[in-house]
Structure 1
Amino acid sequence: MKELNFILQAKGGVGKSLLTYLLGIANQNCEKSLFVDLDSSTGTSSRQLKFLGESRTEAVSLLNEKEVLVRDNLVSYIESLVDARFELIYFDLGAPESEQFPALLELDLPFKQFVDELDCKANFHVVIGGGGAYIPSIDYLQKLVIALRGEFEVTVWQSITTFKNFSTLSEELKRNCEVLGLRFRTFGDFDPGSNLGSQILDGVRKGYGINEYQTGARIRLKKELNDNFKDELTNN
């Protein structure tokens, strides 16, 4: 059964592309995984995941010739993957695409029926930023959860660096996830002001694979994977 993983957040700048990169690193040796960049606004994931090679990355536009988002394009693309060799498929949706996704669920078609008839499983990953990004991030999460109607697993990812000095918000987020039955995970504990943190973030921007980092940064990145991406490491 194919597993479709949708990475979403309508609020920009919360670390969604970093999460996608780390998921790519965690699945670097998993040849059955495919990463799809649906972010028409930046195309960041395509650049950052170049270490996976062209055969395991794709960039797909959901825009029509008038630059208007057409949600049905995603449905058509998912259908095209049914006979592909990939079993784990990650979709990185940009802010505009994420904003439109609840409408696809509520207005366009019964998404659970669609996924079931394709013999697929769908998971949803929502990134939450701290500080000033917290409220808009949560607003989007609530909108998506309502649209999903409890039919799919939702994982809430706390972007650790953005929650520095906001421990109360961090505790609130974890508590609310427990109450709502949402899976809570953390990622991205890289201090951009530290030497290792800046090396890793620079490597992320350049699309480094795990073995392209210097020794210290590579060990630190492996610690991040072992701490926060154990599930994904078992795919390799």
Structure 2
Amino acid sequence: MGKSLLTYLIALKNQHTSDVYFLDADSSASSSKKQLKFLQGKTPARFALLNLLDSRGKIDRQLLFENLLSLANKEYIDFYIDFGAPESSEFPLLFTKDFSIEEFK
């Protein structure tokens, strides 16, 4: 609901800022892949696709945390991840059932 548009607007604002990284984790539409073509192929890399869903269409929590740890080790200041509806609907459960917000930090 406007997540891809917001990601696009932030990317436009930061298109000449090399320490901002964008990821498209929207498995349902890949909107950011289409909208952020102007960032693809840049050096240093500024855009990547990220698939976080398992075979049941649920977030693979291990994969999510592995990717977040990998991002934390990159030399970028800001990261923007465009999550699609399937991914976004999983986050409330992630923070209420599996982990607390404090554990996630």
TM-score norm. by structure 1 comes to 0.40
Counterpart code for 1:26 = K
Q: CA deviation at 1:16?
A: 2.4
Say which of 49, 62, 70 aligns to 1:80.
Answer: 70
Q: CA deviation at 1:68?
A: 2.4
Q: Is the 8 A contact 1:71 1:100 kept in 2?
A: no
1:39 equivalent to 2:29? Answer: no
TM-score norm. by structure 2 comes to 0.86
Matches within 5 A, 1:43-58: 43-54=30-41, 55-58=45-48
Q: How far apart in 2 are the matches of 1:91 and 1:20?
A: 8
Larger Rg: 1 or 2? 1
Greater per-residue helix proportion: 1
Runs of 5+ consecutive residues of structure 2 not aligned to the other structure? none
Q: How far apart in 2 are the matches of 1:68 and 1:102?
A: 16
Q: Is the 8 A contact 2:57 2:86 kept in 1?
A: no
Give the equivalent residue in structure 2 for 1:16.
3
Say which of 105, 108, 130 aligns to 2:98.
Answer: 108
Q: CA deviation at 1:31?
A: 0.7
Say which of 8, 11, 17 aligns to 1:30.
Answer: 17
Q: Point out which structure has higher relative CO (alpha carbons under 8 A, 6+ apart).
A: 2
Q: CA deviation at 1:110?
A: 2.4
Counterpart code for 1:68 = G
> How many pairs align?
101
Counterpart code for 2:57 = V
Q: CA deviation at 1:63?
A: 1.5
